[in-house]
Chain A
Amino acid sequence: MSEGRVKISVRDLHKSFGRKVVLDGLNLDMNARESLVVIGGSGSGKSVLIKCILGILTPDSGSIKIDGEETVGISRAARERVLKKFGMLFQGSALFDSMPVWENVAFGLIAGRGMDRKEAKKIALEKLAAVGLPPEVGELSPAELSGGMQKRVALARAIAVQPEVIFFDEPTTGLDPIMADIIDGLIVTCVKRLGATALSITHDMVSTRKIADRVAMIYEGKIIWDGPVAKIDNSGNAYVDQFIHGKEDGPIKMAVRS
């Protein structure tokens, strides 16, 4: 897998919910081993974009190619094969509360890949250690963990299957600044260690500056700016300037209703 090769290519993607147009001809390329962060306001379509790429939502039209393979409209079996390349950290962690922490981390190995439970548990404890959690945590229920620890477990679960691509959906939302910085650091470390491609969606600019190689901004269902993170402060784009500085005045008008 060479660096710079296009890993995921999204072309002219459209998705609406009733009359509400969420993605309106969106185009985006993700290069292999790159950490891309998509920024944008609440309800701008960031999560919908990720769910369309994963096949959780079906786009109305457009193309999504993963390693050159068209994935819009593919069979369920082909989708399951493609999904083996992915890991994902959900905004609310989405840990399974019916099983202990170690089983959450090992879930993709046991249920998705048919690995023996004993071997999967060993790997799960290693992954927990990689995100700074001791083995005792493995026996706890997710409900017994703090928000920050749940994010760590979710990160451990996302990396346990050694994915080629990892998606991070608002990884630092709801965390205090120190814990958010710790999670950002873990994301950078884990992605680098795996040699994975990362797509994060966030509106946290501190987080963006720490984890991004490249930043794309989504507005009204389209990517309106795309460039290296170092250039974000001099983007020359009024929308990006307003967003990164969090100003009320500017071209972006926040919708009151979704």
Chain B
Amino acid sequence: MNFVAAVGRVFLAFLEATGRLALFTGAAVAYCFIPPFYFRLVGRQMIDIGYYSLPVVGMTAAFTGMVLALQSYTGFHRFEAEGAVATVVVLSMTRELGPVMAGLMVAGRIGAAMAAEIGTMRVTEQIDALTTLSANPLKYLVAPRLIAGLTMLPLLVVVADIVGVFGGFVVSVSKLGFNPAAYLKSTFDYLERMDVISGLVKAAVFGFIIALMGCYAGYNSKGGAQGVGAATTTAVVTASVLILCFNYIITELFFSR
């Protein structure tokens, strides 16, 4: 009986947490469309998320593309299908690895920073101060981050796609002996518009998830430094898991026939 009660409590707690997150999301999204709009803050967040994430996303994408070319070459070599390397690299980067790797990297860098900053503001009463100064915290802190996350991740993924494909190209041409023109031809011959669009849709969803989880964890942090630390961990872990989960859902929506 106690076991059943414990399972019930966990289930109720899960429903409560989901409900709270849903209410938070609904209110935060609504404030993205209600004036006043804090353009300066949106711009600052765009620079933080977009510009300052470029090095880490670019490096990750470059090495991912390079490894992908090497791995697919050694695999396909067994079946004498080395000609498919360029296609595999470009499809993998645009459909999957570009958005997922960029999402996970930005979750680690930006999700953690958002949770830590907002969490510190919570425990030092800065969020209460915003309220008393007639600035709605959801509108002032959360909405600009959601807008910036939603818009900047697709741009980062465009860069990741290009850099990743270029990484694969460099390895294929310099190390595996591919003809550069033939490699590029194979890259673009089999690439369809939907491959790129699905990756960008994923990126937008991942950007929203990263910003949402960072803000939610920080906004609801309790206690002192330990609470902020826990919020940071929660933000990164939940955003990473949700990214992988939504990656499957979006792939299913786009490509299952």
Q: Which of B38, B128, B129, B134 contacts A80 (CB 8 A)?
A: B134
Q: Check: B179 CB closer than 8 A to any chain A CB.
A: no
Q: Give the complex CA separation of A113 and B128 in angstroms.
A: 17
What mask results when residues 131 to 158 of chain A are scored 1 for a CB within 8 Å of chain B, else 0?
Answer: 0000000000000000000000000010
Q: Total A-B residue pairs with C-beta atoms closer than 8 Å? A: 58
Residues in B30-45 with C-beta less than 8 Å from chain A: 36, 38
Residues in B55-85 with C-beta less than 8 Å from chain A: none
Q: Check: B136 CB closer than 8 A to any chain A CB.
A: yes
Q: What's the minimum C-beta distance from A58 to chain B, rounded to whole angstroms?
A: 13
Q: Check: A88 CB closer than 8 A to any chain B CB.
A: yes
Q: Quick check: B125 and A80 within 8 Å, CB to CB?
A: no
Q: Give the complex CA separation of A88 and B129 in angstroms.
A: 8
Q: Check: B1 CB closer than 8 A to any chain A CB.
A: no
Residues in B97-150 with C-beta less than 8 Å from chain A: 117, 121, 124-126, 128-136, 140
Q: Quick check: A107 and B135 within 8 Å, CB to CB?
A: yes
Q: Which residue on chain A has the smallest CB distance to residue B133?
A: A108
What mask results when residues 95 to 123 of chain A are scored 1 for a CB within 8 Å of chain B, else 0?
Answer: 11110000000011001111000000000
B-side interface size class:
10 to 19
Q: Which of B38, B121, B131, B134 contacts A113 (CB 8 A)?
A: B134
Q: Give the complex CA separation of A86 and B134 in angstroms.
A: 9
Known: A54-B132, A55-B131, A108-B134. A94 touches B125 (CB 8 A): yes
Residue among B126, B131, B132 with the highest chain A CB neighbour number at 10 A = B132
Q: Check: A91 CB closer than 8 A to any chain B CB.
A: yes
Q: Which residue on chain B has the smallest CB distance to residue A80?
A: B134
A side interface size, CB within 8 A = 28
Q: Give the residues in chain A near B125, CB-CB below 8 Å.
A: 90-92, 94
Q: Check: A56 CB closer than 8 A to any chain B CB.
A: yes
Q: What's the minimum C-beta distance from B52 to chain A, rounded to whole angstroms?
A: 15
Q: Quick check: A94 and B140 within 8 Å, CB to CB?
A: no
Known: A88-B129, A111-B140. A94 touches B124 (CB 8 A): yes
Q: Give the residues in chain B near A161, CB-CB below 8 Å.
A: 133-134
Q: Quick check: A96 and B129 within 8 Å, CB to CB?
A: yes
Q: Give the residues in chain B near A76, CB-CB below 8 Å.
A: 136
Q: Give the complex CA separation of A97 and B128 in angstroms.
A: 14
Q: Give the residues in chain A near B133, CB-CB below 8 Å.
A: 107-108, 111-112, 157, 161
Q: Quick check: B36 and A88 within 8 Å, CB to CB?
A: no
Q: Give the residues in chain B near A209, CB-CB below 8 Å.
A: none
Q: Give the complex CA separation of A76 and B130 in angstroms.
A: 14
Q: Give the complex CA separation of A111 and B124 in angstroms.
A: 20
Q: Which residue on chain A has the smallest CB distance to residue B125?
A: A94
Residues in A45-100 with C-beta less than 8 Å from chain B: 51, 54-56, 76, 80, 83-84, 86-88, 90-92, 94-98
Q: Give the residues in chain B near A112, CB-CB below 8 Å.
A: 133-135
Q: Which of B117, B121, B126, B135 contacts A111 (CB 8 A)?
A: B135
Residues in B1-37 with C-beta less than 8 Å from chain A: 36
Q: Give the residues in chain B near A111, CB-CB below 8 Å.
A: 36, 38, 130, 133-135, 140
Q: Give the complex CA separation of A112 and B38 in angstroms.
A: 11
Q: Give the complex CA separation of A95 and B124 in angstroms.
A: 9
Q: Give the residues in chain A near B126, CB-CB below 8 Å.
A: 94-97
Q: What's the minimum C-beta distance from B12 to chain A, rounded to whole angstroms?
A: 16
Q: Give the complex CA separation of A108 and B128 in angstroms.
A: 13
Q: What's the minimum C-beta distance from A57 to chain B, rounded to whole angstroms?
A: 10
A sample of 24 cross-chain residue pairs with beta-carbon separation below 8 angstroms, ordered by A number, consists of A55-B131, A56-B128, A56-B131, A56-B132, A80-B136, A87-B132, A88-B129, A90-B125, A90-B129, A94-B126, A94-B128, A94-B129, A95-B129, A96-B121, A108-B133, A108-B134, A108-B135, A111-B36, A111-B133, A111-B134, A112-B134, A113-B134, A161-B133, A167-B132
Minimum-distance CB pairs A-B, first 4: A112-B134, A108-B133, A111-B135, A94-B129
- 14 additional A-B pairs beyond A91-B125, A96-B126, A157-B133, beta carbons within 8 Å, are A54-B132, A80-B136, A83-B134, A84-B134, A87-B132, A94-B124, A94-B125, A94-B126, A94-B128, A98-B117, A111-B133, A111-B140, A114-B36, A161-B133
